[in-house]
Amino acid sequence: MSVAAFCLIWPILFLAGLAVRRRNSRKTYSARLDSWALKYGLTRLDNEVMGRVEDIGLSARLSTEKGGDRSEHYLTVYTRFEPPLDLGLSIRSRHDLPFGNAGRFAVYTGDIAFDRSFYVYADEPGRATHLLTPALRHLLRRAHAGDGELLVTDQGIASQRFARVSDDQWLEHCVHTLLQATRVAYARRDRIPAAAPLRKYVPAWARFAQHNDLSTLKAPLGLWGSVNGAQVYAYAVRTAEQRYELELWLQFEQPLGLGLLVQPMQNVDRFKDFFAAVDHKLGEPNFDETFLVRVSDASGVDELLDEPLRACLLRIHHEAGPLSLTDEGISLRLPYVPPHPGSVPQTIDILIAAAVSIHKARFGSTGGPYR
């Protein structure tokens, strides 16, 4: 072969070999995701497996960043706090720059190894130290991959690292550790004092819960239980330092299974950026301008969010308050936390009506799950 011919053909051979390697890599990681979904009883949605393990929301995602002739693969494991905490919490590995800490105070636990490993910020350091017990600090250190990132916010715990051959072993360790850490955090909720601006509301919320056979929360201030036949949570959501709104969340009896997040544009949960979820447009300007739609697998979403359901969601959003929708439930945000939660049952009726419509659109049932 002449030099000229070789110079002409080698870039083609190189690109072909690169394409084959990338295709084989995708097949390998796709097989791993299927294996993980089967092992943990999760649902495979695009590059993510998600669901509930030991009644805790859990996701594992493989993401790829391409640069030149190389692709870097990342594995992220995430457990959700349900409902979210209200501490203004930010815990991140010290090899990363601290982020989003305006108005928050640095928290030092007195645990030298932990304080050297992580930045910790919160609105009220005393409340955060009630959460960060020796047991939780130990589990967070175990969950942290030395060359990766650990992120803890009011929404949950995520551990991320470069994906490699030993993923299966690390994944099992990480899932087990994050589930333990989430349970430990849950067990501390009632030991954490209510946020300072809401502390005076605690007696009235406790009396209402007792009279209506509901359970109470302190971090965040809230209550939960069966209301008009639906499993409902009503809790304070931190929107800024010392500022709170009330969120009402109705849990679906049957998850939608779409990897879906519908969220108001003005209230986008940036924690989801950790997963690099894909924005999904429905082609209706009013809806697309009002809501950010993210979905791991777009199959079935257009069918679910048809014109009547879009109109229903828009009406509730504009008339009752900002609305969000996920696979597991529908929520409504009110602009303040009332001193007494007596208006909660009436607002829940609005969510129940929407849940019936969503159930019918997804599963074809005429009666819906709430009667």
Out of 22-36, 247-261, 318-332, 351-365, least confident range? 22-36
Confidence of residue 21 (pLDDT cuts 50, 70, 90): very low
Contact between residue 75 and residue 62 where contact means Cβ atoms under 8 Å apart: yes
How many angstroms separate the CA atoms of 248 and 337, rounded?
11
User: What sign results for the dihedral spanned by CA atoms 284, 289, 291, 293?
Assistant: positive
The tokens for 185 are 């955090």
Average the pLDDT over 80-94 and give the result: 93
Q: Is the pLDDT reported for residue 20 higher than 60?
A: no
pLDDT at position 279: 73
Q: Measuring CA to CA, how many Å separate 74 from each of 26, 60, 276?
A: 13, 10, 11
The tokens for 18 are 């690169």
Confidence of residue 138 (pLDDT cuts 50, 70, 90): very high
List, in sequence order, every residue forming a beta bridge with 75; answer none if it has no partner.
62, 161
Q: Is the pLDDT reported for residue 344 higher than 70?
A: yes
* Segments making up each domain of the chain, as ranges: 15-190, 201-363
Q: Taking the chain, what is the end-to-end CA distance rounded to the nearest angstrom?
A: 78
Q: Is the pLDDT reported for residue 65 higher than 80?
A: no
358 vs 1 pLDDT, higher one? 358
Task: Name the strand (E) or helix (H) holding 118.
Answer: strand 118-122
Backbone angles phi, psi at 337, to 5 degrees: -95, 115
pLDDT at position 18: 38
Out of 8-17, 146-155, 160-169, 256-265, least confident range? 8-17
Find which of 159-163, 301-305, 356-360 is predicted with most confidence, using mean pLDDT.
356-360
Q: Is the pLDDT reported for residue 311 higher than 60?
A: yes
| Three-state secondary structure of 106-117 | ECCCCCHHHHHH
Q: Quick one: angle between helices 134-143 and 167-188, nearest 10?
A: 160
Cα–chain-centroid distance for residue 298? 18
To the question of pTM greater than 0.85 for the whole model, the response is no
pLDDT at position 216: 93
List of residues 6+ apart from 68 with CB closer than 8 A: none
Q: Is the pLDDT reported for residue 59 higher than 60?
A: yes
The tokens for 355 are 């849940």
Q: Is the pLDDT reported for residue 294 higher than 70?
A: yes
How many angstroms separate the CA atoms of 354 and 148, rounded?
41
Q: Output the average pLDDT for the chain.
A: 83
Average the pLDDT over 88-108 and give the result: 80
pLDDT at position 276: 46
Give the rounded percent of residues in the chain with a pLDDT score beyond 90. Answer: 44
pLDDT at position 22: 47
The tokens for 134 are 């020796």
